[in-house]
């Protein structure tokens, strides 16, 4: 392969945006590649979900632009974010589009890539640890387990129209495991759908708030108690809900017949 002359090389390299996964919040869960991209960035366009300690790693001279996107909170319209990416992507500066967790999981990554493609701007994706991985680590369980579940769903309880429909019948089967993103406000909906489709009322549900962060909380619940337990917990941070998984300690007690 012939090399481009260095000035062309530089020009080509400069029309570029790196989509970087910030992971769930703990800076030690950044990949080395993500860390390197943050240290080098001139412009960082980030979502609200990205934790403060991670933003603090960026250079003091870097332009930090919040686009405030998280679940259904206030945010810039996607078209504005796309326009911002294109504007900075062609500036010749090192641009990082920093997203919570992994950019490919409920991250609207494709829309942003399409905008860059349309403008002839290069891009790369630096994967990150998704909230489901950090949350399952917090409760000492596996996402999949031989003899229990050979598949796991990453689902959202919301879509653009409101609550999202799923194959509730399949989800209600014993042993199924699903990680529900953006599920805080959908507890009653999920509870209703699961019961309606035959889930055992005692099916474990675990909610992990602020996974991997100093204020991490674990709420061990069940389908039938879910709404009441969440109302009592009063969650304020990002929270992931596992259907079909209990924290390992709670599961051991259940198996030993000790009432929780």
Q: Considering 7, 42, 47, 102, which one is annotated as catalytic?
A: 47
Nearest to 143 by CA among 129, 128, 157, 163: 129
184: DSSP letter: G
**What's the distance, CA 82 to chain centroid?**
20
Q: Hey, is 170 helix, strand or coil? A: helix
List the one residue from 82, 141, 210, 222 that touches ligand SAH (CB under 6 A).
210
**117 flagged as catalytic:** no
Q: Considering 3, 69, 99, 102, which one is annotated as catalytic?
A: 69
Query: Given the DSSP bridges, would you call strands 95-99 and 16-21 parallel, antiparallel or unpaired?
Result: parallel
The two structure tokens encoding residue 165: 């429909």
List the one residue from 131, 178, 199, 243 that touches ligand SAH (CB under 6 A).
131
**69 flagged as catalytic:** yes
List the one residue from 19, 123, 181, 242 that touches ligand SAH (CB under 6 A).
181
Closer of 41 and 54 to ligand SAH (Cβ): 54
Considering the rule CB under 6 A, would residue 130 count as an interface residue with ligand SAH? yes
Smallest gap from Cβ 70 to ligand SAH, in A, equals 6
Considering the rule CB under 6 A, would residue 204 count as an interface residue with ligand SAH? no
The percent helix, strand, coil of the chain (3-state, each to 5) is: 35, 25, 45
230: DSSP letter: H
CB atoms within 10 A of CB 95: 29
Considering the rule CB under 6 A, would residue 239 count as an interface residue with ligand SAH? yes
The site that binds ligand SAH (CB under 6 A) totals a number of residues, namely 25
List the one residue from 27, 71, 244, 247 that touches ligand SAH (CB under 6 A).
71
Considering the rule CB under 6 A, would residue 101 count as an interface residue with ligand SAH? yes
Q: Hey, is 155 helix, strand or coil? A: strand
Considering the rule CB under 6 A, would residue 182 count as an interface residue with ligand SAH? yes
Q: Hey, is 78 helix, strand or coil? A: helix
C-alpha 74/C-alpha 64 separation (Å) is: 18
Instruction: List residues near ligand SAH by CB under 6 A.
Output: 24-25, 49, 70-71, 99-102, 105-107, 130-131, 135, 181-182, 208, 210-213, 238-240
Which residues have a catalytic role annotated? Answer: 47, 69
């Amino acid at each position: 392969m012939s090399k481009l002359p260095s000035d062309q090389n530089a020009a080509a390299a400069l029309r570029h945006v790196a989509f970087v996964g910030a992971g769930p919040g703990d800076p030690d869960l950044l990949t080395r590649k993500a860390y390197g991209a943050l240290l080098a960035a001139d412009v960082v366009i980030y979502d609200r979900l990205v934790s403060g300690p991670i933003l603090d790693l960026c250079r003091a001279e870097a332009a930090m632009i919040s686009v405030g996107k998280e679940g259904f909170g206030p945010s810039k319209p996607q078209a504005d974010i796309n326009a911002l990416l294109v504007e900075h992507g062609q500036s010749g500066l090192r641009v990082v589009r920093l997203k919570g967790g992994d950019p490919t999981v409920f991250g609207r990554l494709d829309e942003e890539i399409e905008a860059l493609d349309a403008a002839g701007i290069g891009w790369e994706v630096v994967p990150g640890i998704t909230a489901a991985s950090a949350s399952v680590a917090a409760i000492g369980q596996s996402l999949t387990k031989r003899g229990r579940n050979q598949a796991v769903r990453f689902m959202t309880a919301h879509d653009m129209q409101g609550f999202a429909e799923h194959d509730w019948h399949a989800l209600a089967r014993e042993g199924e495991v699903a990680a529900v993103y953006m599920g805080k406000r959908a507890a009653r909906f999920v509870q209703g759908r699961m019961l309606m489709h035959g889930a055992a009322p005692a099916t474990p549900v675990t909610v992990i708030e602020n996974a991997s962060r100093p204020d991490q909380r674990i709420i061990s619940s069940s389908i039938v108690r879910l709404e009441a337990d969440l109302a009592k917990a009063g969650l304020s941070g990002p929270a992931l809900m596992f259907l079909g998984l209990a924290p390992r300690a709670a599961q051991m007690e259940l198996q030993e017949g000790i009432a929780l």
